[in-house]
Structure 1
């Protein structure tokens, strides 16, 4: 090649190398920041001990509160809260900030940023068999039909929807039928495609895919802890007239929160005898030894000696049958 061609090629190569260098430096900064956070979180986990359990749980509660506001997309308040508690490295504010930007675009009916996110994470989304990108393209198609731009809608379908035919054939056939209808159609089958709430569905679907991509729970940690606690406490007896005032479910607010939650497995606890492994109830009440251990009446009657002596199988202490006290069981 000529000298001018060589110079041009070298200039192009240098430009590409500089761009690559800048990209590598950017990735290096991100990796350094993530490694710093990993170290901080590992050090935090290592501080958990019996001596500082209260302080450690207080820190956990602060993290749960920040996570709750991050799930609400209130990034500003979550950031302020994290700075107040000085736990920026223990929460994922930057991750949620990335999601918030795309969510805002979708609320404004702007699809390109979400498509760019799909392109950036295509390999992992394909591994999840995600439908999000297809639904974004479908919404673009519907918006073209809404303004009666049929020619552009046909081109869009050929370029962006047809390649999904082998994967989502039924959905594709359904959306293609929208060609015969306008945005004000009363046909329920296609009316739903033109409804404004489709944008809300896209936002919710993006959140699910985003959380799955980053291994984040779809519900906040506060919701999960609250539901777990209410499920354990929720029994049928809580809804009877004699529900004690100390029971949280005596208050209407807690009952409303737990409406969709399952009941606890048992209406009341079961007492199992250490010796016979059988339940202790009204017919087989527990007998309490002076050392505090309790066993079922039937098991102790079988184990009584000739002089009416009972040997505790746990401690080896020997007591007379007259020293045992019957425990009352209240259900």
Structure 2
């Protein structure tokens, strides 16, 4: 039973991004609501203070002006209420529904005891659907992701809209436009260096526009990025065809690719998303538990071992070798584990060890004789000696 017992902590470790993404989305809703409240109520409070001040200073009172000011405050508060209601209906409630469904999905596995539980098999199938959608979205296959999502009914368990935004912003960056990325940074309060747009203005020799842009966007970072700002300022003195290494590097169009990578890393970190697809991480974990030096020796490869497989073996190259506190001995002939029920048997001369089941089957086909696949030694089955695992 121990081998089939569920590792709840290990499962939940993989599910952190699954629960975190809708929380980040709801945080954005809360922040937007807070900004609207602070802005509109601040205006109402200022108008109320002004009205009170005028009422004290003016003996005539200005009744018509006071009524107009109060009506304006009421109108602004009603507009604020409508904004908050619309925001709650369009984003708040759907996000809460997503959070609720995901937490219910995660809580279901805590009541399962074994990997052999039919409920866990269904839960794992849903998890695999989520991972496949995640893989498809990360590789730009949005249509495939939406098809899987619709067919499997996992709309609230995947993050299609998040990856759609990532793709939209990356497409804009590929067109050498920072506007989408800067809007995203403003929304998420993440410091993105605004140097790329400045460089493009310098490349077009629009020096006055570049200077204005630097004053607006770059000077605020002088306390932390003064060296980069100085270099950017000096860039205006060099043409895009310069051979001066520091400035040639700044003009290099490949820096847009670096910006795309930096943006993707930033948005992944914000949502605690791993840089690799979850499907890959799960496969890495499985391969790491199986990978042995024998997997890379042509004489000891096991046809039933995923780490020995030609295609999966490529992925296995990136993970460390497995470490077993208690060794598992596998028969080179059958690929089955040797234990008390399938004892290891050794040849009398060379000491090569194979499983009892495999040697019995070989002896039945060869009139009681067995042949070592590695050395070619031949002997009677009765001459074999049993090996005891300590």
**TM-score, normalization by structure 1:** 0.71
Match of 1:61 among 121, 128, 140: 128
SS at match of 1:47: helix
Match of 1:44 among 105, 108, 113: 105
Following TM superposition, by how much is the alpha carbon of 1:166 offset from its aligned partner in structure 2, in angstroms? 0.9
Distance in 2 between residues matched to 1:191 and 1:232, nearest whole Å: 47
SS at match of 1:252: coil
Change in CA separation of 1:240 and 1:170 when aligned onto 2, cut-off 3 Å? farther
- The aligned residue for residue 238 of structure 2 is 181
- The aligned residue for residue 86 of structure 2 is 26
Q: Does 1:86 align with 2:146?
A: no
SS at match of 2:223: coil
- The aligned residue for residue 314 of structure 2 is 256
Residues 150-229 of structure 1: matches in 2 within 5 Å? 150-229=207-286
Q: Which runs of 5+ in 2 are unaligned?
A: 1-53, 55-61, 329-338, 344-384
- The aligned residue for residue 304 of structure 2 is 246
Following TM superposition, by how much is the alpha carbon of 1:180 offset from its aligned partner in structure 2, in angstroms? 3.0
Change in CA separation of 1:70 and 1:271 when aligned onto 2, cut-off 3 Å? closer
Distance in 2 between residues matched to 1:150 and 1:14, nearest whole Å: 48
User: What is the Cα-based RMSD across aligned positions, in Å?
Assistant: 3.0
Change in CA separation of 1:22 and 1:111 when aligned onto 2, cut-off 3 Å? farther
Distance in 2 between residues matched to 1:248 and 1:289, nearest whole Å: 25
Number of aligned positions between the proteins: 270
Following TM superposition, by how much is the alpha carbon of 1:148 offset from its aligned partner in structure 2, in angstroms? 0.8
Residues 138-157 of structure 1: matches in 2 within 5 Å? 138-157=195-214
Distance in 2 between residues matched to 1:206 and 1:189, nearest whole Å: 23
Distance in 1 between residues matched to 2:303 and 2:223, nearest whole Å: 60
Following TM superposition, by how much is the alpha carbon of 1:74 offset from its aligned partner in structure 2, in angstroms? 3.0
Q: Which runs of 5+ in 1 are unaligned?
A: 273-287, 293-324
Distance in 1 between residues matched to 2:64 and 2:106, nearest whole Å: 61
Provide, for residues 118-177 of structure 1, a one-character-per-residue CA deviation record: whole Å limited to 9, x for no partner: 11221xx2xxxx4xx21xx20111011101111222222222212111112333333334
Residues 85-104 of structure 1: matches in 2 within 5 Å? 85-104=152-171
Change in CA separation of 1:139 and 1:271 when aligned onto 2, cut-off 3 Å? closer
- Cα pair 1:236 1:263 within 8 Å, conserved: no
- Cα pair 1:234 1:264 within 8 Å, conserved: yes
Distance in 1 between residues matched to 2:63 and 2:169, nearest whole Å: 48
Change in CA separation of 1:19 and 1:204 when aligned onto 2, cut-off 3 Å? farther
- The aligned residue for residue 310 of structure 1 is none
- The aligned residue for residue 334 of structure 2 is none
Following TM superposition, by how much is the alpha carbon of 1:203 offset from its aligned partner in structure 2, in angstroms? 1.7
- The aligned residue for residue 115 of structure 1 is 182
Change in CA separation of 1:158 and 1:98 when aligned onto 2, cut-off 3 Å? same
Change in CA separation of 1:81 and 1:166 when aligned onto 2, cut-off 3 Å? same
- Cα pair 2:287 2:319 within 8 Å, conserved: no
Change in CA separation of 1:216 and 1:23 when aligned onto 2, cut-off 3 Å? farther
Residues 289-304 of structure 1: matches in 2 within 5 Å? none
Change in CA separation of 1:252 and 1:214 when aligned onto 2, cut-off 3 Å? same
- Cα pair 1:41 1:89 within 8 Å, conserved: yes
Q: Which has the higher contact order (CA 8 A, sep 6+)?
A: 2
Distance in 2 between residues matched to 1:117 and 1:15, nearest whole Å: 31
Distance in 2 between residues matched to 1:191 and 1:270, nearest whole Å: 58
Distance in 2 between residues matched to 1:186 and 1:253, nearest whole Å: 45
Match of 1:236 among 289, 293, 300: 293
